[in-house]
Amino acid sequence: MIMNVCLVCHKKQQHIFAYQGFDYSRCGNCQLVSTYPLPSTETIEKHYAKRFAEGNYRLLRSYSERYKAVYDDFVTFSRRG
């Protein structure tokens, strides 16, 4: 099941892609990118501990083309403020 309502503004989200058991969706209103299912605190802590141990930017280097649109959209969104 893909969550189709934004947690922030409660508007409709569009599925972007699936990766490692998570579906990624972007809100058409506020542009938030969210995951489903929502990761647990334990999952998040393990993820970041592993990333810091391996080198925090390895994922970006490995999948830079795939994630470029997500990063570009985030930068555009963050500059709106």
- Domain map of the chain by residue range? 13-80
Kindly report the pTM of this predicted structure: 0.56
Can you give the length of the chain in residues?
A: 81
The 10s digit of each residue's pLDDT in 20-66 is 899 999 999 999 999 999 888 898 888 878 877 776 666 667 777 87
What's the DSSP call for residue 57? T
- Position 58: which residue type? R
Contacts of 12 (CB under 8 A, 6+ apart): 4, 5, 6, 27, 28, 29
> CB count, 10 Å around CB of 78?
9
Q: Which two tokens stand for residue 51?
A: 């990333």
